[in-house]
Amino acid sequence: MKTLHPVAGALALATTLLFWLSTVSSELFGGPEAIRFVKLAIPWGLLLLVPALAFTGFSGSRLGGRWKHPVVTAKRRRMPVIALNGLLVLVPCAFVLRHLAIYGALGTTFYAVQALELCAGALNISLIGLNFRDGLRLRRKGRAAETLTPEGCGLHRDQRSSQRLRRP
């Protein structure tokens, strides 16, 4: 669990970033064929992204189950936003865009949905990125639980003694 959690998290971050960057570059530098290719490929990529994200959330909540540390609380709070944004916005957008790209309908509706997808994608990249960064911090803090620095976990010096990492 401890080994697979960061691997799945890195995979989710890399896939989301790849979708976002390939969309932007096909729009900026490619023609209709490149856009069509990217829009048809993304739903296949979801077969990797959705399980990776689900496993990251599941393993994260197992690992962080009884931690009361504010960094873990922040990670826990971000996860439902990531999941809902993914399932309710990004996945439907990917299928609508695929459909429109297949029929060559790259008009106003396509670009409106595309703009929504890019905004929702940017939000998920930021939140998954923050969870990744906080995960690396937790690893470091976990190793040195008794020497927490205030900047590392967002606590002030006088809060440190009462908010030490509490592992199960």
CB of 97 to ligand HEM, least distance (A): 23
Could you say which residues in the range 56-75 bind ligand HEM, by CB under 6 A? 56-57, 60-61, 63-64, 67, 72, 75
Q: How far is the CB of 50 from ligand HEM (least distance, A)?
A: 12
Residue 123 CA to residue 117 CA, distance in Å, equals 10
Closest CA to 101 of 23, 25, 28: 23
13 binds ligand HEM (CB under 6 A): yes
Q: Say if residues 53 and 82 touch (Cβ distance below 8 Å).
A: yes
From the list 11, 76, 91, 106, which residue makes contact with ligand HEM (rule: CB under 6 A)? 76
Task: Check binding of 136 to ligand HEM (CB under 6 A).
Answer: yes
DSSP per position, 71-128 = HHHHHHHHHHHHHHIIIIIIHHHHHHHHHHHHTT--SHHHHHHHHHHHHHHHHHHHHH
Q: Which residues bind ligand HEM (CB under 6 A)?
A: 2, 5-6, 9, 12-13, 56-57, 60-61, 63-64, 67, 72, 75-76, 79, 82, 128, 131-132, 135-136, 138-139, 142
